[in-house]
Amino acid sequence: GQSLEQPSEVTAVEGAIVQINCTYQTSGFYGLSWYQQHDGGAPTFLSYNALDGLEETGRFSSFLSRSDSYGYLLLQELQMKDSASYFCAVRNTDKLIFGTGTRLQVFP
Amino acid sequence: DGGITQSPKYLFRKEGQNVTLSCEQNLNHDAMYWYRQDPGQGLRLIYYSQIVNDFQKGDIAEGYSVSREKKESFPLTVTSAQKNPTAFYLCASSEAGAYGYTFGSGTRLTVV
Answer whether residue B1 shows pLDDT above 70: no
For testing contact with chain A, the best of B5, B43, B47 (most A CBs within 10 A)? B43
Tell me if B34 sits within 8 A of B68, measured CB to CB: no
Q: Among positive and negative, which fits the CA dihedral B35, B38, B43, B45?
A: negative
Q: Which residues of A touch B43 (CB under 8 A)?
A: 43, 87, 98
Q: Which residues of B touch A48 (CB under 8 A)?
A: 99-100
Distance, CA of B35 to CA of B44 (rounded, Å) = 5
Answer whether residue B97 shows pLDDT above 80: no
Tell me if A45 sits within 8 A of B102, measured CB to CB: yes
Averaged pLDDT, A30-44: 94
Contact status of A7 with chain B (Cβ, < 8 Å): no
Query: Number of Cβ pairs closer than 8 Å across A and B?
Result: 50
Residue B51 has phi, psi (to 5 degrees) of -160, 160
Q: pLDDT band at residue B41, thresholds of 50, 70 and 90?
A: confident
Averaged pLDDT, A72-88: 97
Averaged pLDDT, A53-59: 93
Averaged pLDDT, B81-109: 92
Tell me if A26 sits within 8 A of A97, measured CB to CB: yes
For position A95, what pLDDT does the model report? 87
Q: For chain B, what is the mean pLDDT?
A: 93
Give the residue from chain B lying closest to A94, CA to CA.
B97
For position A49, what pLDDT does the model report? 95
Amino acid at A25: Q
